[in-house]
Every structure is written in structure tokens, then in C-alpha cells.
Amino acid sequence: MGICFSRRPSAASAPGQEEVLFFPDPAMPCYRALYGKPCRRANCKYTHELTSLVRLLLEIRKARRTLVVCVFTITCTEIADEIVAAAKERGVKVRVITDDVKMDDQGSKAFDLKAKGIRVRHDHNSLSHMHHKFAVVDNKTLLNGSFNWTRGAVLNNRENVVISHNPALVRAFCGEFNKLWALYGG
């Protein structure tokens, strides 16, 4: 199959346009700055810099047609909000796969995403984990690495995300997503 939805990766997506994001970030981003608004705080404790999390959010924000997310856990509010915004504000078709055990963790956003109309599936085996950490934007951009989509990973962990436009990699990860989506169906 090799595609996340019905379209193939764009011919304009060329290999060699990779970028690597490294974590931890110095602070969480200022919410107002994330949306291009001036910060009103005199001594804002949040960052106004282009951090790794901000770059990741900007890649998710580029989604216009499809966004598939296959991650072990999602507890980072900023990422969950961006996923919801893709679906609700831009009409992006969003699908999420996560781990069944992590869905029940305190702070997990999986049920919040479901409550907001995002299609979420999970594995059905508490003895093993759905441990992937990747997303594909519009069948042309792969976000993949060690990064758990958690606030702790943003601020504390040595993590990475590779942003790739390599069509062969995009196809491979879309194929894996589709295989798991079918496996965890229902």
C-alpha cells in the first residue's frame, strides 16, 4: 500500500531536504508567540525562540490534507492542540495510533483527542507496546525519531526528530501506519 490516505507523496518532495531537531528545549513556548501574537507578559517564563518543539509544531501546522500520528504516548498539550487544530480548523483528515497502556496514563491526551473527533486506535496487548514515534504530514513529510510526545521529553530528555521529505521513507512509514491501523481496527 505505502500511502497514508489516497494520495502518493508529492514529486516536489525531494531527498536531501532533511532536518534534525534535538531536545531538550530550554523552556516551553509562549502560547501567544506560537500563534504570532505579541506576548503581554513583562517577564514571560516561556520561550519566544524557534525551539525544536516549535519546529515540530510548525511541521504539523503545515498539514492541509492528511496527518497520521503513530506514537507511544501523547501528553504534551501543545502537540495535542496542534493535532486538533489541523482537524477542526483546516479540515485535515487525522488518524492517531498509540499504545493501549499509555492511553490510561495520567495526562494522556488520547481520550481528549477522541472526544474532539480525532480517530484514535491502539494496540490490544498489554504485554508488548506500540512503541513507534512518527508522523506523516500530507503523505510527503516524515517526522520520526526517539522523541516521545510528552512535556518531559520536550524539557528533560535527550531526544531527536528527523524531518524528512524522502519519498521512499514516507512510503515505508505510511505502509507501517496502514498495517497497524488495520491490525488495531474496530
Q: Which amino acid is at 167?
A: P
Cell of 91: 479540515
Catalytic residue (choose from 138, 140, 165, 179) = 138
- Is residue 131 annotated as a catalytic residue, yes or no? yes
Catalytic residue (choose from 37, 88, 131, 179) = 131
Whole-angstrom Cα distance, residue 42 to residue 60?
Answer: 30
Whole-angstrom Cα distance, residue 5 to residue 138?
Answer: 9
Is-contact 14 31, C-beta < 8 A?
no
Q: Is 120 helix (H, G, I), strand (E, B) or coil?
A: strand
- Is residue 133 annotated as a catalytic residue, yes or no? yes
Residues whose CB falls within 8 Å of the CB of residue 125, separated by 6 or more in sequence, listed in order = 100
Angle at 97 between CA 77 and CA 119, to 5 degrees: 80
Catalytic residue (choose from 133, 140, 165, 179) = 133
Cell of 76: 504534551
- Is residue 132 annotated as a catalytic residue, yes or no? no
| Residues annotated catalytic, as ranges | 131, 133, 138
